[in-house]
Amino acid sequence: MISDIQTIQINKEKLEKAAFILKTVAHPTRLAIIQLLDHSVSLSVNEICDRLDCEQSLISHHLINMKLRGILKSQKNGLNRYYSLKEKDVLNLIVCIENCNCNM
């Protein structure tokens, strides 16, 4: 089938999913968490709080949110819960943006 130049199929559902992932990542603190986790196997909530100099509850909310959205996974060990990247793929996003010359 010859596709009409004017007719680009926009898959609404796909775009919504994409936007959803992007939104999850589009926050300085959450990007920072992703970077931290990229450099270690896993980190406890408190370790992340310390490194980012950020309040426990706020970090917890972010972590749970990112886990819920499929970007992180976690594992409990004693008192601690260790979070890690579930999808290393998200790191590509960060590389993309860094290479993106959107001049601001």
Partner DNA sequence: TTTATATATGAAAATATTATCATATATTTG
Partner DNA sequence: CAAATATATGATAATATTTTCATATATAAA
Residues at the interface with its own copies (CB under 8 A): 5, 8, 10, 12, 14-23, 25-28, 30-32, 35-36, 39-40, 51-52, 69-71, 86-87, 89-90, 92-94, 96-104
The helix (H) or strand (E) run that includes residue 16 is helix 12-25
Shortest distance, position 68 Cβ to its own copies, whole Å: 9
Residue 75: contacted member of its own copies, DNA, none (CB under 5 to 8 Å, by partner type)? none
Q: Which is nearer to its own copies, 77 or 101 (CB)?
A: 101
The helix (H) or strand (E) run that includes residue 18 is helix 12-25
**Do you know the residue count of the chain?**
104
Among residues 76, 93, 67, 23, the alpha carbon closest in space to that of 59 is found at 67
